[in-house]
Amino acid sequence: MPSLGADMESAVLVEWLKAAGDAVKRGDIIAVVETDKGAIEIEIFEDGEITDILVEEGKRVPVGAPLATILVEGEAAVEAAVPETTVEKADATPPVQPGPVLKPQSVDEGSPERASPAARQFAKEQGIDLAAVQGSGPDGAIRLADLQEAGIQPPTRGIDPEAMRHAIATAMSRSKREIPHYYLNHRMDVSAAQFWLDDYNADRSPPERILFGALLVKAVATAVHEFPEFNGVYEADGFIPSKTVNAGVAITIRGGGLVAPAIQNADALSLSELMTQMRDLVGRVRRGSFRASELTSSTITVNSLGDRGVEGVFPIIYPPQVAIIGFGKVSRRPWVIEDEVLPRPVLHMTLAADHRASDGHRGGLFLNAIADQIASPEAL
Partner 1 sequence: MTREDLKAIFVEELTGIAPEIEGLKIQDSDNIQEKFDLDSMDIYNLLAALHLRLNIDIPDSDAPRLLTMNDALEYLLEKISE
Contact 292, 42 (CB under 8 A): yes
Q: How far apart are CA 243 and CA 223, in angstroms?
A: 14
* Binding residue for partner 1, selected from 80, 211, 369, 375, defined by CB under 8 A: 211
CB of 176 or CB of 287, closer to partner 1: 287
Is residue 332 close enough to count as binding partner 1 by CB under 8 A?
A: no
Residue 250 Cβ, how far from partner 1 at the closest point, in Å? 11
Please identify, among the stretches 39-47, 55-63, 104-112, 199-207, the one whose residues bind partner 1 according to the rule CB under 8 A.
Answer: 199-207
Identify which of 59, 66, 46 has the alpha carbon closest to the alpha carbon of residue 15: 59
What crossing angle do the helices spanning 271-287 and 212-223 adopt, rounded to 10°? 110
Is residue 254 close enough to count as binding partner 1 by CB under 8 A?
A: yes
Is residue 206 close enough to count as binding partner 1 by CB under 8 A?
A: yes
Is residue 198 close enough to count as binding partner 1 by CB under 8 A?
A: yes
Residue 204 Cβ, how far from partner 1 at the closest point, in Å? 9
Burial class of residue 295 in the structure, from the number of CB atoms within 10 Å of its CB (0-12 exposed, 13-18 middle, 19+ buried) = buried
Please identify, among the stretches 90-98, 132-140, 171-179, 301-309, the one whose residues bind partner 1 according to the rule CB under 8 A.
Answer: 301-309
CB of 231 or CB of 303, closer to partner 1: 303
* Residue 378 three-state SS: helix
What crossing angle do the helices spanning 212-223 and 191-202 adopt, rounded to 10°? 120
Phi-psi bin for 74: left (phi > 0), alpha (psi -120 to 50), beta? left
* Binding residue for partner 1, selected from 306, 334, 343, 360, defined by CB under 8 A: 306
CA 158, 160, 163: angle at the middle one, nearest 5?
A: 140
Residue 13 Cβ, how far from partner 1 at the closest point, in Å? 24
CA 183 to chain CA centroid, nearest Å: 25
Is residue 355 close enough to count as binding partner 1 by CB under 8 A?
A: no
CB atoms within 10 A of CB 90: 7
CB of 71 or CB of 282, closer to partner 1: 282
Is residue 255 close enough to count as binding partner 1 by CB under 8 A?
A: yes
* Binding residue for partner 1, selected from 202, 236, 341, 379, defined by CB under 8 A: 202
Residue 213 Cβ, how far from partner 1 at the closest point, in Å? 7
CB of 252 or CB of 368, closer to partner 1: 252
Please identify, among the stretches 103-111, 169-177, 210-218, 340-348, the one whose residues bind partner 1 according to the rule CB under 8 A.
Answer: 210-218
DSSP character string of 124-144: HHHT--GGGS---SGGG-B-H
Residue 306 Cβ, how far from partner 1 at the closest point, in Å? 5
CB of 121 or CB of 191, closer to partner 1: 191
CB of 180 or CB of 283, closer to partner 1: 283
Nearby residues of 168 by Cβ (< 8 Å), 6 or more positions away: 257, 258
Nearby residues of 100 by Cβ (< 8 Å), 6 or more positions away: 77
Residue 273 Cβ, how far from partner 1 at the closest point, in Å? 16
Helical H runs in the chain? 117-126, 144-149, 161-178, 191-202, 212-223, 271-287, 292-296, 360-375
Is residue 151 close enough to count as binding partner 1 by CB under 8 A?
A: no
* Binding residue for partner 1, selected from 308, 340, 341, 379, defined by CB under 8 A: 308
Q: How far apart are CA 1 and CA 16, in angstroms?
A: 13
List the x/- string, 281-300, binding to partner 1 by CB under 8 A. -xx--xx-------------
Nearby residues of 97 by Cβ (< 8 Å), 6 or more positions away: none
User: Which residues form the interface with partner 1 (CB under 8 A)?
Assistant: 198, 201-202, 205-207, 209, 211-213, 252, 254-255, 278-279, 282-283, 286-287, 306-308
